[in-house]
Chains A and B, each alone.
Chain A
Amino acid sequence: MLKAIIRKELLENVLSFRFPLFFIICAVLILTSLYVHQLDFGNRVRDYNEQIRLAGEELAAARPTDIHYGRVPLRGFLPPSPLAGFASGFEASLPKFYEFNAEGAKPGDTAVAEESVLSVFGKLDFLFIVQMVASLIVLLFASDMIAGEKEMGTLRAILANSAPRHTVLLGKYLGGFTAVWLPFLVVFLLGVILLGVLSFPLTQAGMPLRLALIFLASSLFLLAYFALGLLVSASSARSRTALVAILLIWIVLQMAVPRLSDMIAAIVHPIPTQTVISMQKSVVVKSIENEKARALGRQYEALFGRGTPFNTNPEPESKRAEWDSYRTETETLAAERKAAQLREIESGYQREKARQRAIAANLSLISPSAALTRLLSDICGTGEIDRGRYLDAVKAHQQTLDAALYSHVHRTTVIMPSGGTASGSSIDTMVDPKTLPAFAFRRSGVGDALAGNWGSFLSLAFWLVAPFAAAYVRFINYDVR
């Protein structure tokens, strides 16, 4: 019985306009976007290699003092992610490189800075197509399955037999979805082949697994929406009502909820802007530097007499040792204080940001599309996990450089009690730049992505099971007359 129903549903949908329509839309959109993104990836890889090469040349040609003083910055580059075509995530908005110098790590330019106003439409990647286009189409097809059959009169005919209702529903579910899933599968495979032709690193470690997971997660997502469509259909007397209901639900789930969660988080847990934070920091830095400079100035005049112009190697030599020790002590203390206070400000800010983000993330999981977004972008290495890792790597590298290089650079500014400011810099040990470690960034593994997304899994699981269960209940009582 069930098999017969599945076969009928499958055939009916395949032979109708839905099958070729869905196939064409998927094929055009997905293949085009994969193609475009792969080309873009090629460019970005070229850019990346070029940038690294240029940076290396710059470094080799630069004078070591320039490197020490930060006039020639050290750079760490973000390797482009090959899977960004599937889920672009944060890829375009992360700084392509960071510049390291004594003051800290400064982000370089990102691609987003040049976006036009229409980037508010969102990027056209595979995830987007599945979320926005495929989900809507799947919903539309499913919404017709019950109410439409009722209008045609065939539902009565089917239920006049000995097939129980739950069998009929299950048959519609499986058969109908298979009709929609097959074109999706075919297009995905075509896409993978296309990527292979375009020299996508298909055989890289973990890549086949990731691709399989991407496909699986997307299929589950579409299945969830299919179940939702069935639910709506089983709750509507006419397919016209089902249609309108579908659209409204889609708008709410796809568009309103993901943004709303963000907005609600911003309301519930507001945080200061970046400008405010950097202003706070610069106030702290200025005051500490000023204090230090004044202390140094006082000591300098005490040791070398009032009105003596500042010199990093002052006369008489006898007092130089005392001066140097005082200076080093003061500078170290000041540096520590500065670092501690800056750290406090920064970590406080990051804490608040993380809290707000967590609220938004949890709220957004209400929507299956948000769940899919997070899951896919993490699998593709362009999501929260890898972003966190990138920022952590930057921080770690800065610390390494601080310890190995910048701690040997001393910039002294003195404010003389008699008036006037002076500054000088010195390096206590010259470090060979070639011995400095290079910036290294390892992407997360598949396991990390899966482990970090249990919330998304829960959400998807909910959306798979709940609508189908609800559809079951509604269909049992559905008025087929």
Chain B
Amino acid sequence: MEDWSRKESPVSLGKRGISKVIWYIANRELVDQLISTRFLIIVLLVVGLIPLATYVGLEDYKNRLQDYDRLVADKQKLMAGEAGQKVQGEDSPWTPENELAVFRAIRRPDPLSVFVRGLDGAYPEYWDFTPTGIEEGPSALRPKRLSDLLGQLDMEFLIRVVLGLLAILLAFDAVSGEKEMGTLRLVFSQPISRAGFLAGKLVAGAAVLLVPLAAAFLAALLSSKIFGMESLPPDGSLKLLLVFLASSLYLLCIYSLGLLISSLTRSQKTSIIVLLVIWIVMSLAASPVATFTAQAICPAPSRHIVENQKKRLGDALKTETEKAMGAAYRDVTGVENRMSYGDFLDNKDAVLRRIDPIISSYVNKRRQLLAEVQQEADRQENGQNRIARTVMWLSPATTFTNVVTDLSSTGDESRLAWFAAAERYFNRLEAVLFEDPPMITVRLGGMSSTLERRNLPSISELPMFVPPKNQVVTTIQRALPSVIILMVHIVLLIIGGFIAFARYDVR
């Protein structure tokens, strides 16, 4: 009657046979997911929110870019014109605030911050270097609204939260759902191995998740073009591609977690609840726990406290020195009850000869003192950061955030790099300018006066600020450890999944 029954004898289960079977499982799973409502809704949600997120990110970036341009223009004007003017008279400060802008380190906002906000808005827009220390300029983001404290709606968030939840929704019933539906029994009455089945699910999940991820990236690039963003430099495009790859890793990780949990539970409801609890803990509790643990294990003073400490020490030393210089002044000029420019000019060489050694000893003492404080603070802070980062590696979500913000130079590491660069520049400036000060303040009794010691160096002699490196290689280096951790997560979860499923009751 039917010739189909004579068509073929059962296939042999060689290598090709196994991969074919995996393909059948994967294919079926893929189609099933792609036509499901939940997939459609989430993709629409993501693709719908991306233009909005991009728009806001772009507007914010444009504002900060405007600020940057203005600050740079200001600085250039200053450098061309009025810096280094001598000021006559009593009680005049060495350099009025404006002139310090010559040394200002201005940070250009990173174009990738349109997509991955990270900390980019929380950086100071510039750093000023004063004789008494580094002062940070305002940052564009001081949480002005309560919802700022809830986080920002950028692409990183959409991938981590929304697509992450999609991965959970796709994976949670992969095994337990088929068990409840009875199809698991049917499938395993066929010649298919457990590993093959799970491998098929894995492949399908990965493929399904790539679709909305790619759609999200395309939507983001498209929106940014439409809303008038400049083209990314090739560097930036490469980094964006790496962000895409990192996102795929993250989603694969979440999906593997879902498969593992699904293979450990018998009912879908249990699967989803367990998964959600894990996901909530991992996403929302991981970072505060990490920060708290790090602070508990390795307390470190905040940057500002350290700066204040250094400033206080420096000021105290400075006042002491100024008084010593005042004593020298008195000794040389013989004048005790007034400080006038005329007296100083008459005895300039003698005064300076007495004062110079005081200054160099002050300079040395100061450098040593401050270096000690800074080194200790650095040690503690590095220790704390390392601990926090290590704890955060336990959670794929926080690891993902670290990877992505590192790649787009809006993360912790880049921020630390900027601070370090500011420190380095400050040390160089100190060496050139403040350690051989052209103008000094001398205290005698209750009076103080600022005297000229040597000619002010011209602007062209001064070192300029060098921003930290931002090329792809650097960002990859920063992100690499976290990427490896993500891969480790994936491997462990997949192995766990296979082990769990090998013992799964398929009846």
Interface, chain A (partner B; CB < 8 A): 21, 25, 29, 33, 36, 63, 65, 88-90, 93, 109-124, 128, 132-133, 136, 140, 144, 148, 239-240, 243-244, 247-248, 251-252, 255-256, 258-263, 266-267, 270, 272-276, 278-279, 286, 309-312, 353, 357, 360, 364, 370, 373-374, 377, 383-384, 420-425
Contacts and interface: CB of A to CB of B under 8 A. Distances in A.
Contact of A259 (B70, B118, B152): B152
A423 B95 CA distance: 12
Contacts of A132: 280, 284
Contacts of A251: 45, 161-162, 165
Nearest to B42: A248
A422 B88 contact: yes
A270 B59 CA distance: 9
A93 B92 contact: no
A423 B289 CA distance: 55
B332 interface: no
Interface string B127-140: 00000000011111
Contact of B291 (A89, A93, A118, A309): A118
Nearest to A274: B138
11 contacts: A33-B288, A93-B142, A117-B412, A118-B392, A121-B288, A123-B288, A132-B284, A243-B272, A247-B169, A370-B146, A422-B88
Contacts of B385: 116
Q: Which 6 pairs, one residue from A and one from B, show the smallest C-beta to C-beta distance?
A: A118-B287, A109-B304, A422-B89, A259-B153, A124-B288, A93-B143
Contacts of A244: 37-38, 169
A118 B77 CA distance: 38
Contact of A422 (B42, B45, B87, B287): B87
B142 A263 contact: no
Nearest to A425: B91
Interface size class of B (residues with CB under 8 A): 35 or more
A140 B273 contact: yes
Contacts of A278: 138
B269 A243 contact: yes
Contacts of B151: 120-122, 259
Contact of B38 (A115, A120, A248): A248
Contacts of A377: 146
Given A117-B410, A273-B64, A353 B144 contact: yes
Contacts, number: 211
Given A133-B280, A239-B269, A421-B87, A275 B125 contact: yes
Contacts of A360: 145, 147
Query: In terms of DSSP, what is the predominant structure of the interface of chain A?
Result: helix
Contact of A276 (B53, B66, B74, B272): B66
B419 to A, nearest CB: 11
Interface stretch (B367-375, B398-406, B420-428): B398-406
Given A109-B304, A243-B272, A275-B125, 14 more contacts: A90-B143, A118-B291, A124-B289, A140-B273, A248-B41, A251-B161, A255-B153, A258-B150, A259-B152, A275-B71, A309-B89, A373-B146, A422-B87, A424-B92
Contacts of B412: 116-117
Contacts of B288: 33, 121, 123-124
B119 A122 contact: no
B285 A124 contact: yes
A260 B304 contact: no
B292 interface: yes
B283 interface: yes
A120 B302 CA distance: 19
Nearest to A384: B146
B90 A262 contact: no
Contacts of B284: 121-122, 124, 128, 132-133
B411 interface: yes
Contacts of A144: 269
A88 B149 contact: yes
Contact of A122 (B66, B122, B149, B411): B149
Interface in B91-107: 91-92, 98
B304 A309 contact: no
Given A133-B280, A275-B138, A422-B87, A117 B411 contact: yes
Interface in B54-92: 55-56, 59-60, 63-64, 66-67, 70-71, 74, 85, 87-92
B150 A259 contact: yes
Nearest to A114: B302
A294 B165 CA distance: 66
Contacts of A258: 147, 150
Nearest to B272: A243
Contacts of B415: 117
Nearest to B385: A116
A207 B45 CA distance: 43
Contacts of B272: 140, 243
B52 A423 contact: no
A33 B285 CA distance: 10
B501 to A, nearest CB: 21
A88 B288 CA distance: 13
Contacts of A420: 88
A333 B290 CA distance: 56
B143 A261 contact: no
Given A117-B401, A273-B63, A112 B302 contact: no
A423 B117 CA distance: 45
Contact of B153 (A260, A275, A421): A260
B291 A116 contact: yes
